[in-house]
Amino acid sequence: MADSVVRAMTWNVWWRFGPHWRDRQPGIRETLTRVGPDVVALQEVWAGDGTTQAHELADALGMHAVFAGPSYPTAPADAGGVELGIAVLSRWPVLEHEAPVMPARHRAWDPVALTVRVDHPAGPLPIVAACLDYGVPYTDDRIAQGAFVADLATDPRFDGPCPVLLMGDLNAAADSPVLRSVGDVLTDAWTAGGGPADAVTLPSTHPSAPLSAGPQLVDQRIDHIFFRPGREDQHVSVDAVRLAGDAVDGVYPSDHRAVVADLRWSE
């Protein structure tokens, strides 16, 4: 029987932050078009005026979209009601989705993760998408959130014919204590696919790099794709990994780099 494949991508698209946010939108669409992902987890997604950035991208790309919020960071006080959340785009129809609330003792609001199952040709493909807390003083919350998304991704209800994907801006390096619970039960696609160990997804060289975030985040690979087999006898391999998000016509689409992974498994 032929192998099944999926091209997965995660990208923090920087909400409406930075100068000239409207000028960045064509580059986001162009980058997604060039990469051609099957499924995408997006973070720092805007929603307002009866639409969401995710749904506008899905309409332009012929994909399906799910949006949920709130997520990190909080939208500015002067945002005029424009929300900030996370989203999943899929080439295939969305079968179901939920937005469970993550633990957050230090925040006065309830950040959510997003669980989605999409109608992959091999069967339901489960995706857990998230953006974890970035506050280094709140590392207890960050560790708790890492354990929370690891529990979501290993929930037996997601067992089946397809691997389970955990994707997002997890605001920690793969070997950080924040992601220890994740690494204990899931495989880092970047490492499995032979990605360079010094890869960076929040580069200090970006013109608007958030240098105040400090060395735990800046110049680190903090955006991730993790996975596990959907069943005990399933072998999942990573054919290739790469970063995306170069400047388009001189404009950086985001302050983050996107992570792309091509996964393959036997049905």
What is the C-alpha separation between 219 and 198, in angstroms, rounded? Answer: 9
207-264: per-residue pLDDT in tens? Answer: 888 898 889 999 999 999 999 999 999 999 999 999 999 999 999 999 999 999 999 9
Closest residue by Cα to residue 192 from 238, 225, 230: 238
First CA to last CA distance, the chain: 7
> Which CATH number is correct for 3-252, 3.40.630.30, 3.60.10.10, 3.90.220.20, 3.20.130.10?
3.60.10.10
Q: What is the pLDDT of residue 212?
A: 84
Residue type for position 3: D
Q: What is the pLDDT of residue 1?
A: 62
Q: What is the pLDDT of residue 2?
A: 80
Question: What proportions of the chain, in percent to the nearest 5, are helix, strand and coil?
Answer: 25, 35, 45
Q: Is residue 118's pLDDT more than 70?
A: yes
Closest residue by Cα to residue 223 from 37, 9, 72: 9
Residue-range domain boundaries for the chain: 3-252
Tell me 257's DSSP state: P
Three-state secondary-structure class, residue 223: strand
Portion of the chain with pLDDT greater than 90, in percent: 92
Q: What is the pLDDT of residue 19?
A: 83
Portion of the chain with pLDDT greater than 70, in percent: 99
pTM for the full predicted model: 0.97
138-193: per-residue pLDDT in tens? Answer: 999 999 999 999 999 999 999 999 999 999 999 999 999 999 999 999 999 999 99
Phi, psi of 96 (to 5 degrees): -165, 160
